[in-house]
Structure 1
Amino acid sequence: MNPYGRVTVADHGHARRIIECHGPRRSKPRIAFATIGQAPRTDVVPDILGMLDGVADYREFGALDGLTAAEIASQTERGSERRLYTRLRDGRHIEADTGFVVGRLTALLQRLDGLGFDLIVLLTTGVFQSFSLRTPLVHGQRAVDTWIDALVVGDCRIGVIYPLAKQAEIDGHGTLIQNAHAVAATGEAARLADAAAQLGAADLILMHSVGYSEENARCMAVATGKPVVTARRIIVGAMRLHLSELGAATGVVPTGLPSVSPGTKELIDCLPPPSVPLTPRERQVLACVMDGEPNKVIARRLGISHRTVEIHRGRVMNKLEAGSPAELIRRALLLGAADG
């Protein structure tokens, strides 16, 4: 049972506050979600909050908020070759001039930087510009790039699926496969099922857009038999690190940390069994380690000390004869591909 009692939810425009109505009151981090389209993103933010289990107060903001339909249309009708694909409040998807959108996004982020938020989260994987802010920023594209760079080693093949903006709908998809040596386009497809068929050679699949949901990922995993990761989940992982650091600095520890990412258990199961079996606690620690969690977060999740996590982690690495979590992930991917 939640020791903080039941919660109620109050909505105020684009703001949604989770209020503890029974039990002791405690402060929560304040998060600003920013999108290149319009807020609220009812197709994305609830999914992300579900993975965080409502550990923060938040507000949503869009770079195109406040514009009239005519003003937005003037940017979608321009003949620019550089365009961004995004969603409006009414659910329509549009392509707008990149320079115009990024200019409004930059102004929005600068404004949010002065409003006292603990964390700003940029909910897109299509913006490559850097932003100089005082407030910690989870940059969606940078978070995904970092994740890819950490895994693209040796012969590990990451399959990437992404929406085709020229289709003007989320059901148009492009695919590619990347390893340490090359990136190769594998085709375009109108349906996710067809895109899945193009990624049969991949060891792991990344759904490279915040528009792809966890349900999309589950369908892709069933269709391919491969571990599947969404951009949303990578962004949540980056948020968790920032929230953990914030909790360490303020003494406010987020509760309700999400379970291990889908795909992590499958990766662990691909590892050859060690000569000395892992204990249940060591397997718990291994799952958290392979999910990218730092020792302090693992300690809070499992209710043990930081030092105990270090001991279990060291024993796991010794038993599996591995030098790092990245080595374990690579080994699991390669062995999984060989078994398949």
Structure 2
Amino acid sequence: MFLSVGQSPRADIIDEMLDSLDLPIQAMEIGALDGLSQAQVHDLRVRPGELSIITRMADGSDVVVSKPRIAERMAEIAAGFQPGQYDLVVILSTGLFRDFESTCPTVNAQRAMESTVISLAAAGSRVGLIQPLVQQVDELDIPALSSYRITASHAADGDKALLASAILDLADCEIIVLNSVSFTESDRQMVAKASGKPVILARRIIASAIRLLLHGTHPATAPGVAPEFSEKLQRLTPRERQVLSLVAEGLSNKAIARQLGISPKTVEIHRSNVMSKMEVSTSNTLIRMVVAAGHP
């Protein structure tokens, strides 16, 4: 189940990710704005003093809504899913800074991206973020990133002029992160070619997490993934692959246990096995390995 901020369907995002996964996935989707009247949608628009998030309507238009109020609506939807109702729930937004209570295994796109940025910055890299809205540059306030070298700029997906301007803003950065699910593979290729730097795409990070969580029930060799990473991945049990993906999101043992329906102590054992089999000593190193595997 893909849970998006705007209105479904979001084939522009989901179809691309499913094509890259090459897994037999039955994808369903719910949009937080589905079924709302124009007046109800208007009431969710961002107000002065509120943090903002941009999303897409079914007719292709964009709307800027209140981040805290749309996050609350999405949390209510996620909390309504029944245990075992879905093999996986994907929170399809990179702007919602909160946990979502779910009894189904869950990919939280924002958590996955935040962990990725932290792991890259912790290794000493100066990281540049490209946000979809200009106001989100000033709104970027992630306590976990405060001690790292992070620079932000903005551009809309597909806007080559703004992307070029953002590249200039991030000239001193060593790695660029396209920090929204709206950015496409074409955007990534354009930024990578123009900047000559590694560029991280949110959709690839999310796809990597999906692949790891579903690998046990639908094993597949991912195209473009380094043989060394694939070989190490094959050492893991299906449950260990699930734990690896959730560790890569920065979740605690207790949160992982809640999603997988096992005890925190069991999670701790699986986590130790994952670190040993993947031949890493820290979570940050593990996350960087997963990121590299998803961005050949």
Aligned to 1:227: 198
Deviates more, 1:152-161 or 1:101-110: 152-161
1:182 to 148, 152, 157: 148
**Structure (1/2) with the larger strand percentage:** 1
Task: Please state which structure has a larger fraction of its residues in helix.
Answer: 2
Shift in CA distance, 151/180, structure 1 to aligned 2, threshold 3 Å: farther
Measured after TM superposition, the shift of residue 92 of structure 1 is 1.1
Amino acid at match of 1:284: P
Q: Which residue of 1 aligns with 2:105?
A: 136
Distance 1:60 1:230, change over 3 A: same
Give the 5 Å matches for 1:1-340: 32-76=1-45, 78-79=47-48, 81-113=50-82, 116-164=85-133, 166=135, 181-185=147-151, 187-188=153-154, 191-244=162-215, 247=216, 252-255=217-220, 257-260=221-224, 284-285=227-228, 288=230, 293=233, 295-296=235-236, 326=285
Q: Which consecutive aligned stretches of 4+ in structure 1 deviate over 6 angstroms post-superposition?
A: 172-175, 322-325
Residues 122 and 148 in structure 2, CA contact (< 8 A), matched pair in contact too: no
1:179 CA drift (Å) = 8.7
Structure 1 stretches lacking a partner, 5+ long: 1-31, 262-282, 298-312, 334-340
Deviation at 1:180, TM superposition (A): 9.1
> Does the C-alpha gap of structure 1 residues 90 and 151 become closer, same or farther in structure 2, counting only changes over 3 Å?
same
Counterparts of 2:281 and 2:20, CA distance in 1: 30
Q: Is the 8 A contact 1:85 1:96 kept in 2?
A: yes
User: Quick check: 1:162–1:174 contact (8 Å CA) kept in 2?
Assistant: no
Aligned to 2:194, the other structure's residue is in SS state: helix
Distance (whole Å) between structure 1 residues aligned to residue 281 and residue 98 of structure 2: 35
TM-score (norm 2): 0.70
1:211 CA displacement: 0.6
**Could you give the per-residue CA deviations for residues 252-296 of structure 1, whole angstroms, max 9, x where no partner exists?**
4333x43236xxxxxxxxxxxxxxxxxxxxx721x547xx95643
**Alignment check: 8 A CA contact 2:107 2:210 kept:** yes
- When Rg is computed on C-alpha atoms for both structures, the one with the higher figure is 1
Q: C-alpha displacement at 1:81, in angstroms?
A: 1.9
AA in 2 matched with 1:326? T
Change (3 A) 1:294 1:43: same
User: Could you tell me how far 1:89 is from its partner in structure 2?
Assistant: 1.1
Distance 2:106 2:212 in 1: 12
Deviation at 1:93, TM superposition (A): 1.1
Structure 1's 288 and 218: CA in aligned 2 closer, same or farther, altered over 3 A?
A: farther
More displaced 10-residue stretch of structure 1: 154-163 or 212-221: 154-163
CA contact (8 A) 1:83 1:97 kept: yes
Number of corresponding residues? 246
- C-alpha distance in 2 between matches for 1:100 and 1:323: 39
2:146 and 2:86 map into 1 onto residues whose CA distance is 38
Matches of 1:150 and 1:186 in 2, distance apart?
Answer: 17
User: Secondary structure of 1:61's partner?
Assistant: strand
Conservation of the 8 A alpha-carbon contact between 1:161 and 1:173: no
State the identity as a percent: 29
CA RMSD in angstroms comes to: 3.8
CA distance in 2, matches of 1:179, 1:61: 31
User: Is contact 1:36-1:105 (8 Å) kept?
Assistant: yes
1:264 match = none
CA distance in 2 between counterparts of 1:114 and 1:141 reads 23
In structure 2, distance between residues paired with 1:91 and 1:216:
18
Unaligned stretches of 5+ residues in structure 2: 156-160, 238-275
CA distance 1:113–1:197, shift in 2 (3 Å): farther
SS at match of 2:12: coil
